[in-house]
Structure 1
């Protein structure tokens, strides 16, 4: 597998995932990912993306409940 950004060699590892939204900031420190050995760009496989999206949906639902209280 080659990096889409720089064509460097990819290696399996972990990478942080950060998202900033209006009502919250989410940081996941060690998400399984493919890491470019040349530029450090991280790519997540579909199962990890699905899990991240599920976490984001849960956080958004809970922050909406808090805002409505």
Structure 2
């Protein structure tokens, strides 16, 4: 999940690219120093979810259906 953070400037809407939390912090601070030197860095942080494997609910649902089918098949 190294590429799960993106920072948005609170002044102009500039967005950093997706990256690690520390990379995003450095990028937004650099942006503020260059484009808004008299303003304290602000804005918001976006967190990308569901993008790094793991399967999620779909895999769990498929596994549950498979278990039910196996239980039904083993009783016959």
Larger strand proportion of the pair: 1
TM-score, normalised with respect to structure 1: 0.37
**Highest CA radius of gyration, 1 or 2?**
2
If asked which structure has higher relative contact order (CA below 8 Å, sep 6+), I would say: 2
TM-score, normalised with respect to structure 2: 0.35
